[in-house]
């Protein structure tokens, strides 16, 4: 009996689910049906094996199906699962670890996705400040809800203009979210002045990884903190991507900037569903999980044993093994190798990255914000990635998407990847 093909199964998927996928951004060409993943590799239904740098948009800091994490989850759910009342010993243990490692975390609450975490952070900021408006940055992604789902991957003619991400969004939510330019403190202060005493919070990816890897310039993040203090707003670091992947204390620990609130997720649980909001005790105590709190916080699956155990196991690995040393070294090696290939082939491109994350922009200067990425050759960016998939190297075949290295990747995978990259670039150029 012949195995089903990717094409056949994708067609079947579309019969039962709109578009055949369960998150919009997953619907890309080629349509692959994955059946297996282990370490640095994943496999499709046809038996094609890929070195994975997509990492499900970043959760897999240790690698797919990492034995230590899976074993801890299995051990935990053999004795506990979900109660819907009170708390558990492992929730207490995990909360203690996050407060120990993340500078802004005096208290923490668990939820299930980054979108939930940012939703709660914004609601809390509005309650604390008694203001309604929010500042986000063009190109940054903070989840699917109406508060922040605007001006993400905008068409170039909509940069900084009103660009809701979906039909059905409330106009009031869209218009109370203000859009600024990343790395431009002057623009942020002008916006705060124009909206005199109405801005509750500034929410920012400390490194905008939604658009690849745009690093904050010296003084930008500290400048945001100063502006928040000056104009009575809270500073929210959305570290759903950067938290744990760049440091066990998040990018805030590296930058030496402590925000008022922080959202966490992805690498926190190495692929299991888990997220958190953390922050100053005086603010977190406003949630109604605390008797007398006036800010609603709820979720049936919050603190479920699966995600909690996975998070504990992942953090234990980060505490006890040279995870960051390994992935940072391989990240440096990857970026250096790509640059050398570009030099040999005479390709004018910019290799961006930090730690275990990188991407190649096909443009001849370092981008500072989303507007600069108009100069990236998006068509070439996607074509390059599709050709790499044909060679067994999986990077998301979408424009401006980052790549990730895990603890399961080795020098061998980097060697194979660099060789494939050189072959593809020789073909394209």
Catalytic (active-site) positions = 141, 238, 266
Residue of 333, 273, 347 whose CA lies nearest to 303: 273
185: nearest Cα among 177, 176, 193? 193
* E strands in 156-210: 177-180, 199-204
Q: At what angle do helices 323-345 and 411-428 cross, to 10 degrees?
A: 20
CA proximity to 359, closest of 402, 314, 305, 415: 402
What does DSSP assign to residue 400?
A: T
For residue 371, CA distances in Å to 183, 188, 192, 380 come to 11, 16, 21, 18
Cβ atoms of 32 and 38 within 8 Å: the answer is no
Q: How far apart are CA 111 and CA 115, in angstroms?
A: 10
Rounded distance, CA 5 to CA 129, Å? 55
Q: Return the axis-axis angle of helices 185-194 and 220-231, rounded to nearest 10°.
A: 20
E-strand ranges in 242-381 read: 261-264, 275-279, 350-354, 357-361
Cα-flanking dihedrals φ and ψ of residue 52, to 5°? -95, 120
Burial 44-67 (b: 16+ CB within 10 A, else e): bbeeeebbbbbbbbbbbbbbbbbe
User: CA-CA distance, 149 to 89, in Å (whole number)?
Assistant: 36
- Ordered DSSP codes for 53-82: -SGGGTT-SS-BT-HHHHHHHHHHHTT---
Task: Find out whether 425 and 384 touch, Cβ atoms under 8 Å.
Answer: yes
H-run or E-run covering 282? helix 281-284
CA dihedral (334, 335, 341, 342) in degrees, to 10, reads 160
């Amino acid at each position: 009996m012949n195995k089903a093909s990717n094409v056949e199964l994708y067609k079947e998927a579309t019969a039962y689910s709109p578009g055949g996928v369960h998150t919009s951004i997953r619907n890309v060409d080629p349509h692959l049906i994955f059946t297996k993943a282990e370490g640095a590799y994943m496999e499709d239904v046809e038996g094609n094996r890929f070195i994975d740098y997509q990492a499900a948009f970043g959760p897999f800091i240790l690698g797919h199906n990492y034995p230590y994490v899976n074993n801890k989850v299995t051990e935990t759910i053999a004795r506990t699962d979900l109660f819907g009342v009170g708390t558990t010993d492992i929730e207490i243990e995990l909360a203690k670890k996050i407060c120990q490692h993340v500078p802004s975390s005096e208290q923490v609450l668990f939820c299930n996705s980054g979108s939930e975490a940012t939703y709660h952070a914004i609601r809390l900021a509005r309650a604390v400040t008694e203001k309604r408006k929010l500042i986000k940055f063009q190109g940054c992604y903070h989840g699917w809800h109406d508060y922040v789902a605007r001006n993400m991957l905008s068409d170039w003619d909509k940069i900084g203009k009103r660009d809701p991400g979906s039909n059905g969004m409330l106009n009031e939510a869209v218009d109370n979210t203000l859009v600024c330019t990343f790395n431009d403190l002057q623009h942020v202060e002008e916006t705060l002045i124009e909206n005199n005493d109405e801005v509750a919070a500034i929410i920012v990816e400390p490194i905008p990884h939604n658009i690849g890897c745009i690093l904050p310039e010296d003084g930008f993040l500290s400048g945001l903190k100063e502006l928040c203090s000056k104009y009575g707003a809270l500073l929210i670091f959305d570290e759903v991507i950067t938290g744990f992947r760049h440091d066990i204390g998040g990018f805030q620990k590296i930058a030496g900037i402590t925000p008022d609130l922080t959202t966490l997720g992805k690498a926190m649980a190495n692929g299991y569903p888990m997220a958190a909001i953390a922050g100053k005790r005086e603010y977190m105590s406003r949630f109604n999980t605390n008797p007398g709190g006036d800010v609603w916080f709820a979720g049936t699956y919050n603190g479920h044993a699966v995600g909690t155990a996975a998070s504990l196991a992942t953090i234990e690995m980060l505490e006890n093994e040279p995870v960051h040393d390994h992935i940072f070294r391989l990240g440096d090696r990857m970026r250096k190798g790509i640059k050398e290939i570009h030099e040999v082939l005479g390709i004018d491109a910019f290799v961006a990255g930090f730690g275990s994350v990188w991407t190649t922009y096909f443009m001849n200067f370092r981008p500072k914000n989303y507007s600069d990425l108009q100069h990236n050759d998006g068509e070439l960016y996607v074509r390059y990635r599709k050709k790499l998939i044909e060679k067994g190297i999986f990077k998301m075949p979408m424009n401006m998407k980052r790549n990730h290295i895990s603890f399961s990747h080795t020098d061998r995978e980097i060697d194979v990847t660099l060789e494939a990259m050189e072959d593809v670039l020789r073909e394209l150029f």
